[in-house]
Structure 1
Amino acid sequence: MTSGGETTDSSTTLPRRQLGRFLREAREGAGFTVEQAAGLMEWNKSTLSRLERGLTEKVRARDVLGLCEIYGLDDDRTAAAKALAEQKPGKSWWHAYVDLMPAQINMLVRLESGARFLTIYQPLIVPGLFQTADYSRALDRTYFPGDSDAELDRRVELRAQRQNMILRQRKPVETKVVLHESVLRTVVGNRRAMAAQLRHIADLGARENIEVRVLLFGAGFPVGMPLTPFFIYQFGRDARGKLVEPTIVFSESLAGAMYFERQSEVQLYRDAFDTVQRATLDVRPSRDLIRELAREYDIER
């Protein structure tokens, strides 16, 4: 798996770029050319083109709402676009899970949809892209106690749709994952669900595009301190060899999701992952351990 390097630091323009991609896909989905959509907004073609490329310095929410209306977007997608339009560029920015869940999900899906390489460190829980339906449902039933069964099913379906990025036949995202041993030994749902979840992880780790390693309890803290979960998204290069988008780090917590794209910040996470990875079991022993623990769950239930 290769990685592309960035050459300059700059303030994050992630919200603008994600909004631009969101609007471009919405326009294309609605069957409009740039000229047609710009004409309906009484804009020059270049105005919409700059917006779709994330180059507009000041994005007005009412303009975005106007485009959403033209493209026939539903309330949830319109709310997601408006939330992106209202994000302010800066060194980093926060997006609360609880208050803006629809926008958060749309942002994350848009981020994942363009990735070519994905690096994951997860010390606490099976990453959503690797979760089985039973594992996901058990988590959501606790985290969203007010949800109906139908709403919980939709959350599970959303995860399943997101998992397509690593499972699809054509150009699946190349993925490296480090799971702490505690992820494998913490029971979510019941032992039957855990046995199935661990077998699923092992099966995924046998795919050519996915590498799964386990950090054992005995490895301690390889970087000298606990690390929170993080994801590193890389977006590949265009025909001229230029990075399509800067590499982005997504770090999550109960309070919200933080995104980083400055070169110094991204490199900090890359170095941390490399250090942790050197302390893990190799790929095959990791897979063997995961299958062994799955058998233990089967025996003990």
Structure 2
Amino acid sequence: MSDEDSTTLPRRQLGKYLREARQAANMSLDEVSTLMQWSLSKLQRVEKGQSPQVRTVDVEALCRFLDVDDETTTALQGLALQASVKSWWHSYDDLIPGNFNVYVGLESSAQHLVHYRPDIIPGLLQTPDYARVLDRAYFPNDPPEDLYRRAQLRAKRQARINRKTRPVQAEFVLNEASLRYVVGSPAVMAAQLHHLANTPTNVSVRIQPFSAGFPLGIAPGPFVILDFGVDAKDREIAPTVVYIESYAGDMYLERTKDVDRYRQADNVIQQTTLDVASSKSLLRQMAREYQA
């Protein structure tokens, strides 16, 4: 399937959320298609992210039938407006409310994750104490109940890589700087590094030491490559997506040439890291230093 003919991330995410809302409402495809005065095949295409265009008024009507709250309805209308976009810049509070987390919905469908994080421990690997310090700084005006909900969401995300049955495969490369920046206190850092050194076998953590320099000739910044697995016929369930987080918004790339560029970057970075065993040794050594 060519880049021009394939589906897009906003279209697929819109379909995913609408499908989940229909299932949560205990409504069948037949029931919803009748309410919308659509053919069954049209609703199926929308839920699979294969419909070339979904009008915002239709999204609003669907959400009303499915008892979707106003904030989520607004977010889904924003996805519909950007349904044709291949490389998608999601600016916070622009079309889609800032607290509607598109990335988390995407991550929940991924079967394999590749993280490069040069500056901070990723959320999937954060201990509650480490995360709590960051949340209080990044969301200074949030009431305690909102911070609690964020913690619960993070724990739910982490469960996918920590569960015993069919856990998600995840590879993490952390720059040594992320281990040196003190978040909270030395005690918080010691516990966090011990946690990194004891991840399950489906999760690899490798450290890129300061001595690696800049193997790409530039600092690429943090990124995540998300793969969604294959079906029974060995076909991609969904195209690979590269996620790039920034302070003002998020970028989602799915054009083949963009994904290939980040895969090549990951290959170069991997060659500059310590192996898993040496990385664990370094993490435990640094944990002891924080405890001294």
| TM-score normalised by length of structure 1 | 0.91
**CA deviation after TM superposition for structure 1 residue 76, in Å:** 3.7
Kept in 1, the 8 Å contact 2:228–2:238? The answer is yes
- From 127, 147, 167, the counterpart of 2:122: 127
Aligned to 1:139: 134
Aligned to 1:181: 176
Kept in 2, the 8 Å contact 1:112–1:165? The answer is no
Aligned partner of residue 242 in structure 1, secondary structure: coil
Aligned partner of residue 206 in structure 2, secondary structure: strand
Q: What pairs with 1:101-180 in structure 2 (closer than 5 Å)? A: 101-103=98-100, 105=101, 107-180=102-175
Q: How big is each residue's C-alpha offset from its partner over 1:35-59, in whole Å with a ceiling of 9 and x where there is no partner?
A: 1111111211112111111122221
Aligned to 2:243: 250
1:53 aligns with 2:48: yes
Aligned to 1:202: 197
Q: How big is each residue's C-alpha offset from its partner over 1:141-200, in whole Å with a ceiling of 9 and x where there is no partner?
A: 111111122222221221111112211222111011100000011011111111111111
Cα distance in structure 2, aligned partners of 1:267 and 1:284: 28
Kept in 2, the 8 Å contact 1:215–1:281? The answer is yes
Equivalences, count: 289
- Taking only the aligned residue pairs, the percentage that are identical comes to 48
Give the aligned CA root-mean-square deviation in angstroms: 1.6
**CA deviation after TM superposition for structure 1 residue 230, in Å:** 0.3
1:289 aligns with 2:282: yes
- From 265, 269, 272, the counterpart of 1:272: 265
The amino acid across from 1:211 in the alignment is S
- From 229, 234, 247, the counterpart of 1:241: 234
Give 5+ residue unaligned stretches, structure 2: none
1:222 aligns with 2:215: yes
Cα distance in structure 1, aligned partners of 2:55 and 2:107: 25
Kept in 1, the 8 Å contact 2:114–2:170? The answer is yes
Cα distance in structure 2, aligned partners of 1:68 and 1:257: 25
Higher mean C-alpha deviation, range 143-152 or range 70-79: 70-79
Kept in 2, the 8 Å contact 1:76–1:102? The answer is no
Aligned partner of residue 220 in structure 2, secondary structure: coil
The amino acid across from 2:99 in the alignment is P
Kept in 1, the 8 Å contact 2:171–2:204? The answer is yes
Aligned partner of residue 279 in structure 1, secondary structure: coil
Cα distance in structure 2, aligned partners of 1:77 and 1:169: 32
**CA deviation after TM superposition for structure 1 residue 208, in Å:** 1.6
Aligned partner of residue 170 in structure 1, secondary structure: coil
Q: How big is each residue's C-alpha offset from its partner over 1:70-125, in whole Å with a ceiling of 9 and x where there is no partner?
A: 2222334333322222224234121123663222x1x2122111111100000011
Cα distance in structure 2, aligned partners of 1:178 and 1:8: 31
| TM-score normalised by length of structure 2 | 0.94
Q: What pairs with 1:11-90 in structure 2 (closer than 5 Å)? A: 13-90=8-85
The amino acid across from 1:102 in the alignment is N
Cα distance in structure 2, aligned partners of 1:8 and 1:170: 35
Cα distance in structure 2, aligned partners of 1:36 and 1:226: 52
**CA deviation after TM superposition for structure 1 residue 66, in Å:** 1.5
Cα distance in structure 1, aligned partners of 2:285 and 2:19: 47
**CA deviation after TM superposition for structure 1 residue 12, in Å:** 6.3
Cα distance in structure 1, aligned partners of 2:283 and 2:139: 29
Cα distance in structure 1, aligned partners of 2:56 and 2:93: 22
The amino acid across from 1:126 in the alignment is I
Aligned to 1:3: none
Aligned partner of residue 99 in structure 2, secondary structure: helix
Kept in 1, the 8 Å contact 2:130–2:192? The answer is yes
Cα distance in structure 2, aligned partners of 1:97 and 1:181: 30
